[in-house]
Amino acid sequence: MSYLSGRHFLQIPGPTNVPERILRAISAPTIDHRGAAFGRFATELLQDVKEVFQTTSPVVIFPSSGTGAWEAALVNTLSPGDSVLMFEVGQFSALWADLARRLGLNVRFVEGDWRTGPTAAEVERILTEDTGHTIKAVGVVHNETATGIYTNVADVRKAMDRAGHPALLMVDAISSLGAMDYRHDEWGVDVTIAGSQKGLMLPPGLGLNAVGEKAIAANKASKMPRAYWDWQAMFAQNKAGFFPYTPATNLLYGLREALAMLREEGRANTFARHDRHAEATRRAIRAWGLEVVARDPNQYSSTVTAVLMPAGHSADEFRKVVFDRFNMSLGSGLGKVADKVFRIGHLADFNDLMLAGTLCGVEMGLAVAGVPHKQGGATAAMEHLTAMAQQAHGTLAGVR
């Protein structure tokens, strides 16, 4: 293996680039997780972490991947044989449904074409027809990372309310939290599921559940077997800043730093930055003459863009060329769209020049791999970034 010079471009949609500040925070000495100093630290952290969910409800933090947080949401609120309504939008929604089935739940899985997400009308119709209220939970993926499709959670909530249906609303915000607007309380979400390694800029290893009042009530009646994922054990220990078992101490240091960084940037600025990078990316794709997977502009993700490979060309071959020649990792096509789609992650600790470099790498890679395309995508993206920067600069100049 020869040395690959310069910084690696980790442009998969998670794990994302971990900023130096967070790496340094994580490198602090591990302390006694039953000691007083840890208790003080975690008490404050468990309070501060609520902000990123825009909630006042408790947030439970597991040493786990996002998949663990999926499982925790289900086993803490439901009983064996309960029905859950889920929607096929891509590989992650399919995996969550599969996990629910393996837990013994009855999944009502609304099939999809992997290019569009669920509509509020569809949710309302299904729930209105469920007059016996057999559906106990609706599971929605806020940002389907495999296809770059966003689902409007506020609209889903309104559809549930119009149907007058009492099901719990569970939302997977694993690849949106910290990067796209997310409001646990305002949108009436009962359980929000998150992970550390995407918008939160951390390495993998933390799984989070924000738990609303209705979910806490459901927890008391729920009969699914659970041990590791038990919220009650967490709540009991978390009161004093402790955990029922060893927490991921150093990742929690990193989380504290990530929350500080997000606060410094300001929520509105963080979201606007992701929107800008997503728009610039789509402009590049269109200029190359390629196609974005998401069909509906109202369902575009701001953290990841999935791109359809021209027929007869391998997305994996292309990604290999980009890695070997330009030291950049792009996201692969998952499940049904394996080798047909590649994904550009543009989230977390990221800026305009990193995006410009990323898109240059894609454009050069398309040429090297012999993928038919038009030149000028990176330029189109730069034009958008420039215009946005000029707008911001003009505004600043105006108030000076």
Ligand X SMILES: *Cc1c(COP(=O)(O)O)cnc(C)c1O
Residues of this chain that interact with ligand X (CB under 6 A) are: 14, 65-67, 92, 141, 145, 172, 174-175, 195, 204
Do residues 326 and 361 touch, judged by C-beta distance below 8 A?
yes
How far is CA 56 from its chain centroid? Answer: 21
**Residue with Cβ nearer ligand X (54 or 145):** 145
Residue 21 CB, nearest approach to ligand X (Å): 22
**Residue with Cβ nearer ligand X (110 or 364):** 110
Residue 310 CB, nearest approach to ligand X (Å): 26
Do residues 77 and 89 touch, judged by C-beta distance below 8 A?
no
Q: What are phi and psi of 218, to 5 degrees?
A: -65, -35
Residue 363 CB, nearest approach to ligand X (Å): 26
Collapsing DSSP to helix, strand or coil, 274 comes out as: helix
**Residue with Cβ nearer ligand X (192 or 270):** 192
Residue 338 CB, nearest approach to ligand X (Å): 16
Do residues 334 and 91 touch, judged by C-beta distance below 8 A?
yes
Residue 84 CB, nearest approach to ligand X (Å): 16
From CA 150, how far away is CA 116, in angstroms rounded? 9
DSSP assigned state of 309: P
Q: What are phi and psi of 233, to 5 degrees?
A: -65, -40
- Among 30, 7, 29, smallest CA distance to 19 is for 7
**Residue with Cβ nearer ligand X (196 or 219):** 196
**Residue with Cβ nearer ligand X (175 or 363):** 175
How far is CA 376 from its chain centroid? Answer: 30
Amino acid (one-letter) located at 298 = N
Residue 91 CB, nearest approach to ligand X (Å): 9
Two tokens at 136? 């106990």
**Residue with Cβ nearer ligand X (58 or 68):** 68
Residue 104 CB, nearest approach to ligand X (Å): 20
**Residue with Cβ nearer ligand X (293 or 388):** 293
How far is CA 1 from its chain centroid? Answer: 33
Residue 193 CB, nearest approach to ligand X (Å): 8
Amino acid (one-letter) located at 134 = T
Residue 212 CB, nearest approach to ligand X (Å): 20
The H-assigned helical ranges of the chain are 20-26, 36-48, 50-53, 66-75, 91-102, 120-129, 153-163, 213-221, 231-238, 249-265, 267-288, 315-326, 352-368, 377-399
Select the residue whose beta carbon is closest to ligand X and give its number: 66
**Residue with Cβ nearer ligand X (11 or 385):** 11
Q: What are phi and psi of 289, to 5 degrees?
A: 80, 15
Peptide bond preceding 15: is omega within 30 degrees of 0, i.e. cis? yes
**Residue with Cβ nearer ligand X (163 or 194):** 194
